[in-house]
Structure 1
Amino acid sequence: MRKQLLAFTAGFALLASSLPAAAQSPAIAQTRRQPTYETAAALRDKALTDTTAWDLTESLTTEIGPRLVGSPGMERAKDWAVKTFERLGFSNIKVEEFAKPSWTRGAESAVIVAPYDWSIAMVGLGGSVSTPTKGIEAEIVVFKAYADLLAAPEGSLKGKIAVVTAPMVRTMDGSGYGAAGIARRAGPSEAAKRGAVAYLVRSISTSDLRSPHTGGTSYVEGVAKIPAAAIGVPDAELLERLAAKGPVKIKLNMASSVDEKDVAWNISGDIVGSSKPDEVLVIGGHLDSWDVGTGAIDDASGIGITTAAAKLIGDLPRHPARTIRVVMWGSEERGGSSEAYAATHEAALGQFIVAGESDLGADAIYKIALPKGAVADPRMADLPALMAPLKVIVSREPAAFAGSDTEGLQAAGVPVMQLSQSALRYFDLHHSPDDTLDKIDPRQMQQNVAVWVSILWLIADSDIDLRTVGAPK
């Protein structure tokens, strides 16, 4: 009974913290700074009918298309970003170039040649080397778990194609991706250490469709580089069943090229602060995408959501005290934009108040996490009431990760905020030909903008120091 009472008390406290101030105690309600709250609430409500995020996402995916680093599409996207910032009234627009080798996909195919002919749905992994001109034809060895591949002794895969068929677990927070993704990222080199001549991995996906999902891979220095590709989920399961009955042989053909002297760009625009313009909130999404889809959920939607939120604030008669900067990072999928941005702005890192990225599609946000101690600060007391109509939890746990493109800033000491979206269907689509505009729900996208604009206003129009809040005095 005592445990039940404690659980009830904790649950009641959590519920009370998410109620509008009118439903809380008078003492809590009286701490509200009405002008800040009223502006944030008005921005939130306007966002729920605003179409800017959708319009930007539609424009980027339709007019520009796929945006792989080094491609003509990425060049067009850079120009699109600059024109978009100009059209929407942003200031201090910057195009910051950095060195980034590009990888370009060529013709590719995978075919079962024994025990019968069957064309496999496959897609090369980003960064993969090519097969010889005539391809590779070899028997496969199937591993139902990545750990089984790691347990295989050196030399045991000599002359074979290694196939890992471990499934990805569907989770709300996307944690299944991190657990499964190592098979894609590190699998080729582990297979090569054991003598394999090529590597196939079941798509890191929660879908049951044949569409294969690409993604980046990497090679360990000093280990032979072997061709690597992802295969559709049904075909991975087919290979499991066939291999259980006898030998299976596959012919793999892959072609790709690398330009070591290529470049990428981080493009940014500011909504300049009214009284403390040198204090900057850094937000955004990544402009690049894989080449197999139009990059709607990954990550044109993140570009649309964060740009739309900043524009709503920029349209106000008075800007917030601090500057809001939207960055369209230029090489998340192939890596490099995070480190480049942090290095370029090293001298100004101490003026960055907080950083955050939208990079998990456009489905509804369900939780916000702020830097340690921020939720308890009186200047953030309005946040639960602002989030209640949007059905968003304000977490008591501090933000741990804000996005791949903010990792460099976080490592340099910039506080981060994490706006968690539902990932229940995201990994059905991302990195695949199905990453297209029709998969975005406009109403859920507007909810994202409403969440972003509320938290941005509260922080940008305050003097809260997220580096020291909650620190021992």
Structure 2
Amino acid sequence: MRPLLLAAALSALAMPAIAAPPSDPLRTGAEAARDRALTDTTAYDFVESLTTDVGQRLAGTEASARARDWGIARLTALGFKNVHAEAFPVTAWQRGEEAAAVVSPHPQKLAILGLGGSVPTPPEGIEAEAVVFRTYDDLLAAPVGSLAGKIAIVTQPMVRTADGSGYGAANPIRRSGPSEAARRGAVAYLHRSLATGESRLPHTGALNYQADAPKIPAAALSVIDSELLEHMADRGQPIRIRLKLQSTATPSTAWTVTGEIPGSEHPEQVIIVGGHLDSWDPGTGAIDDGTGMAITVAAAHLAGAAHPPKRTIRVALFGAEEMDFSDDAFTAAHKPELANIVAVGESDSGSDRIWALALPAGAAKLGPMKTLATVLAPLSIYVSPEPSRFGGSDIGGLTMAGAPTIAFRQDASRYFDWHHSADDTLDKVDRVQLNQNVAAWAAFLYIAANTDVDLHPPAGTPSPARP
């Protein structure tokens, strides 16, 4: 060896070794929970059993009670503590016989689903001339009294978007359309399903009757039949439709099922996450919202698997989201513990991949949340610079009351092809994307539950508003 090389080698041996950076136990634990989730079967097993052993779960019905018992048994088997059902009153709406058809200019059956909460038609049904509006604004522009004795039909399509905002933009068509049509004299209301697919299967959903308008029967048309009626209207001939909806509505009870992983150091401090247990009746409620529950339950289970978290993690299977009953009941029951709620979050957009996380204002700058951003990066998830404003329908009341709210953003490109329809079934669940969701939620829960991070927005931050 040359003298200079020998000297350099001896010098290197004499130098003290440079110590590796100390490991970050928080990051290490969150990464371990994340990585376990990517191959774990808890979430898929959950939704497979739910759709097979329970099926559809209309709030307040016999199926709702079976779902309650199933949820209690499932959480107990996974090791959650303090598992129980919180009862609250609901109106149990159930569809009966449903049929619609064009009578003239020539007979044609129509694929429909009654809207949740719709009043029934008379037993013999309704037959009347139909007026087709290509946009919801066209309906709103119609003069009061112009639809007297007629069936109003809105055929405006919903826009497919990756973030699901197309659904929010179209929601008034279903929610408010029946009352707007009634104000103008209509005797019934039909609208193109809030859907992005090409199926002839209609998509249902809830309506909201307004106090200052008559209640008229209302249903969703399939995308295909809506387009058929547009073609008929283009011919310029009068269209007559016969509609029959034999729904019932009765006082009943629903239940939110909750379970906990108790905190070892601060059990009174609680992180609340979940999805909704109820579903519409045409399908089996796999993606709306079987997967939402599965994701958060599996994530909580994995986040607490290695050792008890310092703070309590609570999962909630909300009992009546689709008909808008869960939020008020859950808020009333848990508002007294608001000061101890560390964070709330709900998964209710199917199971396709998460691409972003929105945190409360100012939280992204906190050390533990910076660690979370590092842990989420390999999942192709970033922490949004925009703060969270809304985390889900069942936690809206707590959000408005000041509970720090998180919102994972999912790819909703496919979700509205199937939701609220007979196509909401287990085969739509992509297991790889499902587990990516679980991994993201598990990482968040691990970090939030094992630090003293305060996610409350800074004083003076404007209160969030419902979208």
Would you call these one fold, judging by a TM-score over 0.5?
Answer: yes
In the alignment, which of 325, 350, 372 is matched to residue 383 of structure 1? 372
Contact 2:303/2:443 (CA < 8 Å) preserved in 1? no
Aligned counterpart, 1:123: 113
Residue 395 of structure 1: aligned partner: 384
Structure-1 residue corresponding to 2:334: 345
Q: Structure 1 residues 446 and 267 mapped into 2: Cα distance closer, same or farther (>3 Å)? A: same
Residue pair 2:295, 2:438 contacting (<8 A) in 1 also? yes
Question: What is the deviation of 1:379?
Answer: 2.2
* Equivalence for 2:129: 139
**SS in structure 1 of the partner of residue 364 of structure 2:** coil
1:369 is aligned with what amino acid?
A
Structure 1 distance, partners of 2:225, 2:308, is 54
Whether the 8 Å contact between 1:94 and 1:268 is mirrored in structure 2 is yes
The match for 1:456 among 441, 445, 449 is 445
Listed as ranges, the matches of 1:405-444 within 5 Å are: 405-444=394-433
Q: C-alpha displacement at 1:266, in angstroms? A: 1.1
Per-residue deviation, residues 30-56 of structure 1 (Å, max 9, x unmatched): 7x9700100000110000000100000
User: Aligned residue for 1:218?
Assistant: 208
- 8 Å Cα contact 2:304-2:446 kept in structure 1: no
* Equivalent residues of 2:404, 2:457 under 8 A apart: no
d(CA) in 2 for partners of 1:381, 1:158 = 60
Counterpart Cα distance in 2 of 1:208 and 1:331? 29
1:93 alignment partner in structure 2: 83
C-alpha separation in 2, matches of 1:164 and 1:422: 28
Partner secondary structure for residue 297 of structure 1: helix
Report the Cα distance in structure 1 between the residues aligned to 2:201 and 2:457, rounded to whole angstroms: 47
Q: Which residue pairs with 2:240 in the alignment?
A: 249
Q: Aligned residue for 1:193?
A: 183
TM alignment of 1:280-429, pairs within 5 A: 280-316=270-306, 318-429=307-418
The structure with the larger Rg is 2
What's the TM-score, normalizing by structure 2?
Answer: 0.93
Residue aligning to 2:9: none
**Kept after mapping to 1: 8 A contact 2:202/2:222:** yes
**Cα distance, 1:33–1:279 mapped onto 2, change above 3 Å:** farther
State the distance in 2 between where 1:294 and 1:335 align.
Answer: 19
- Judge conservation of contact 1:373–1:471 (CA < 8 Å) in 2: no
Q: Which residue in 1 is equivalent to 2:253? A: 263
SS in 2 for 1:382: helix
Please say if residues 100 and 264 of structure 1, whose CA atoms lie closer than 8 Å, have aligned partners that are also in contact: yes
DSSP 3-state at the match of 1:55: helix
Q: For residues 216 and 151 of structure 1, what CA distance do their matches in structure 2 show?
A: 24
Question: Following TM superposition, where does structure 1 have runs of at least 4 consecutive aligned residues deviating by more than 3 angstroms?
Answer: 468-472
> Which runs of structure 2 are paired with 1:60-71 in the superposition (5 Å)?
60-71=50-61
Q: Following the alignment from structure 1 to structure 2, what is the Cα–Cα distance between the partners of residues 314 and 384? A: 20
Mapped contact 1:399–1:418 kept (Cα < 8 A): yes
Q: Does the residue aligned with 2:435 lie in a helix, a strand or coil?
A: helix
3-state DSSP of counterpart to 1:345: helix
Question: What do residues 51-73 of structure 1 show as CA deviations (whole Å, max 9, x unaligned)?
Answer: 10000000001100000012211
| Whole-angstrom distance in 2 between the partners of 1:97 and 1:172 | 36
Task: Evaluate the alpha carbon distance shift between residue 468 and residue 428 of structure 1 in structure 2; reply closer, same or farther with a 3 A threshold.
Answer: closer
Which residue of structure 1 aligns with residue 32 of structure 2? Answer: 42
Q: How far apart, in 2, do the equivalents of 1:33 and 1:337 lie? A: 43
Equivalent-residue separation in structure 2 for 1:73 and 1:468 (angstroms):
40
SS of equivalent residue, structure 2 residue 455 = coil
- Residue 283 of structure 2 is aligned to residue 277 of structure 1: no
> For residues 231 and 373 of structure 1, what CA distance do their matches in structure 2 show?
44
What is the identity, as a one-letter code, of the residue corresponding to 1:60? L
CA deviation string 1:140-194 (max 9, x = no partner): 1010110010000011001110000000000011000011111000000100110
The 3-state SS of whatever aligns with 1:184 is: helix
How far, CA to CA, are the matches of 1:346 and 1:382 in structure 2?
30
Contact 2:111–2:202 (8 Å) recurs in 1: yes
Distance 1:106 1:210, change over 3 A: same
Work out whether 1:234 is the aligned partner of 2:257. no
What is the aligned residue count?
A: 441
Task: Tell me if the contact between 1:377 and 1:469 (Cα under 8 Å) persists in the aligned partners.
Answer: no
* 1:320, distance to aligned residue in structure 2 (A): 1.6
SS in 2 for 1:375: helix
Matches within 5 A, 1:108-187: 108-187=98-177
Give the distance between the partners of 1:110 and 1:33, measured in 2 at CA. Answer: 66
The separation in 2 between residues aligned to 1:470 and 1:382, in whole angstroms, is 24
Query: What residue number does 2:13 align with?
Result: none
Which amino acid in 2 is paired with 1:282?
I
**Distance in structure 2 (CA, Å) of the matches to 1:66 and 1:339:** 23
Could you give the per-residue CA deviations for residues 14-38 of structure 1, whole angstroms, max 9, x where no partner exists?
xxxxxxxxxxxxxxx97x9700100
Question: Hey, what's the Cα distance between the residues in 2 that align with 1:86 and 1:207?
Answer: 38
Structure 2 Cα separation of the partners of residues 193 and 344 of structure 1: 37
- Quote how far apart the aligned CAs of 1:469 are: 5.5
What is the RMSD of the two structures over their aligned residues, measured on CA atoms?
A: 1.4
What is the distance in 2 between the residues matched to 1:140 and 1:313? 55
Q: Deviations over 1:261-292 (max 9, x none)?
A: x1111110001111111100000000000011
Counterpart CA distance in 1 for 2:458 and 2:447 is 15
**Would the aligned equivalents of 2:360 and 2:457 in 1 still touch at CA under 8 Å?**
no
Between the aligned partners of 1:369 and 1:188, the Cα distance in structure 2 is 34
Matched, 1:104 2:104: no
Deviates more, 1:105-114 or 1:370-379: 370-379
Give the structure-1-normalised TM-score. 0.91
- How far is the alpha carbon of 1:470 from its aligned partner? 8.2
Runs of 5+ consecutive residues of structure 2 not aligned to the other structure: 1-19, 462-467
